[in-house]
Amino acid sequence: MVGHNSHAILLLGDMYVKHAAKLKEDVKRMLDKVADPLAGLEMIDDLQRLGVFYHFEDEIKRVLDSIYNNINYYNWSTEDLLNHFIPYSSNVARKLPYDFGSRCNR
């Protein structure tokens, strides 16, 4: 009886591992496809609050790189930056070498 239960537990554990891997891939795809910078920042903030940020560091860096490199395209003022970018990603931004204040329109 113990062998049967152990096998069932192993199968169930394997199922959860596969499901978690699929969910991670889904989130990575979502981050790669994000077009709206604010939506991307909201996703990053959510991932950080959930404590799973570290699974998506490469994808998050790409989102932040895109925002940083195109900040003048978005025509954000310093006020916009303070109201939108900073609340969503101040903890993330601290980990990355960005100086957004010097890049935005005054």
Q: Is 105 helix (H, G, I), strand (E, B) or coil?
A: strand
With a CB cutoff of 8 Å and minimum separation 6, the contacts of 82 are none
Give tens-digit pLDDT for 40-75.
888 988 898 899 989 999 998 898 888 878 777 777
Q: How far apart are CA 27 and CA 67, in angstroms?
A: 19
Q: How far is CA 50 from CA 92, 96, 102, 103, in A?
A: 13, 20, 30, 30
Total number of domains in the chain: 1
User: Which structural domain, as residue segments, surrounds residue 32?
Assistant: 2-102
* pTM exceeding 0.95: no
